[in-house]
Chain A
């Protein structure tokens, strides 16, 4: 093979022109790079002079997990547009700088560093996935810029430091909600778990569910796993079916849950299917069809709630995105941005440290996803709702579980 390769290799520096061309390209890209960074500097400082609020957002806008990032981004933008329509902060419009992290934790660190040190944002919103929030939070903490995660439910996120907040409940609570619902409301005795081994969210939620379900007298009779991206789950489901659990808990994302539910029903498993907020998407019933109907999952909000704030949000979202019902992530993004804006309205200087104090004092904030109060651990204390899947993208509100 090597000998073959020798044949096509020709000296590169045959002529002056070509080597200059190469160096020209490298040089220009360097210059362009430096220029870009310079521009960013001046732009942001000019903004700071005007005392306008600049929010930074980092999320997964491209790549396989971009659905989550895009939903959140839409929610955030809606909140900001609403605030700007009613005058912004002290008469100046709020600016949002969104950076993509491609679903990679190291890119998340880079993105937050750019937001903080170059764009000089006063507050950061992001990420959906706990692992990327945990990776990036130390940067926000180091530079003392408050960060609000819309939907990272792992407990360790806010433990990074006193500048890190979240507006969602945490996994231990969500696990407990579903365990309690299964054991007490549905009076189930035995459960099987099918967890996504590649997802930190799924593994965490499965562990907390198992712990609480056993505490409440239930039994976990099977605990198997799959990897996100798989399409065939029949082997796991055949094993689960033979043990006849009352409940099959699938703490995964809707992308796989739909297929799992389908195959479970095809194999004649008739137990109750349950899951967490990862189920919340219009695609769930599209992929799962009849199989997911009758399943229960915990979520942040019910789009059918008659609270005015929810109705307003759902109506506006539908109008903007051709009739799509906003999922939980969009609602969380909306709430996170609104908590940030509310804090900015209360704070006098818009300096990051003042914003942090204002965010920390958030109490009884009327959000789409419930009344949000931040506790001493900077986690939102708020109820979870349990929804039941009805036919074709229709969810019935079952109950609210308070912390």
Chain B
């Protein structure tokens, strides 16, 4: 029983990170209808950004304030990168066929990975323990630590903020309008380019925060760390219904739990296959995902 609870907590913490990254995919897909493959690399850059910010705050280690500074630094850095990618690579292709945008996204993702290897080297860096790990609940077979609670709590808070932003602000309304029909929205006077850039900024900032939470849990940062997380988060987004915020959150958590439980109860060798298997099954059974609704494609 305790093992089950332990697995649920572990899966939930892992799933919260997936959910934060998945939100980025889902937001971009919502407004532009394409998979931003480079999102995983923005997540990776966020982790490196966090390392550098923490490096500057040499004396602040261990305090809550430095955690906040590192998180905001990383989020700001990611926002910058996200905006730059959107401006340089995606905006010129706004009216290009979707296939071209997709290929560009793959290209940008590979480019950032390889630039990362060139600049940071392939050897992993260590994410500093901005706040040290402490067990909050500790019995023989069940351990819950402060980082896990922090990860789950922060993710939940960010998702609530996002929900408020999208549902209850003018900006959110504009985002929804763009997502619904980009041309009509532009006729209504909504500055399309600015809204899209804003969407990228939010998605990237979430990735930056996820990267810091991830770095605190797994303090190993390397230029290819985004690849696997990215794929899993994407699967989570599709599972929940791409374009839906609730879907991304639920999908991420389901993904995290499913992985932990499969490894524990079934087999550890097919963990990565699980993500893809889940993806294929959901796409065949219910391509719109759990919460998604897909517009019929027009002729």
Contact = CB atoms under 8 A, between A and B. Distances in A.
Touch between chains A and B, by CB atoms below 8 Å: yes
B124 A235 contact: no
B227 interface: yes
A283 B97 contact: no
Interface string A45-76: 00000000000000000111111000000000
A231 interface: yes
A283 B124 contact: yes
Contact of B260 (A65, A229, A231, A234): A234
Interface in A278-302: 283, 286-287, 289
B140 interface: yes
Interface stretch (A176-184, A220-228, A341-349): A220-228
Given A8-B97, A238-B7, A259-B218, A287 B268 contact: no
A5 interface: yes
A4 B98 contact: yes
B141 interface: yes
A225 B269 contact: yes
A258 B218 CA distance: 10
A403 B97 CA distance: 65
A287 B97 contact: no
B269 A197 contact: yes
A353 interface: no
A231 B220 contact: yes
B260 A235 contact: yes
B271 A230 contact: yes
Nearest to B113: A64
Contacts of A283: 123-124, 126
A182 B138 CA distance: 29
Contacts of A82: none
Majority secondary structure, A binding face: helix
Interface residues of B, number: 45
A232 B268 contact: no
A267 interface: yes
Interface string B3-21: 1001100110010000000
Nearest to B127: A287
Given A197-B269, A267-B6, A232 B97 contact: no
Contacts of A98: none
B122 to A, nearest CB: 4
B278 interface: no
Interface in B94-132: 96-100, 117, 121-124, 126, 129
Interface in B128-170: 129, 133, 135, 138, 140-141, 143, 145
Name, among B122, B140, B217, B269, the residue most crowded by chain A CB atoms within 10 Å (CB to CB): B122
A268 interface: yes
A253 B92 CA distance: 43
B86 interface: no
B172 interface: no
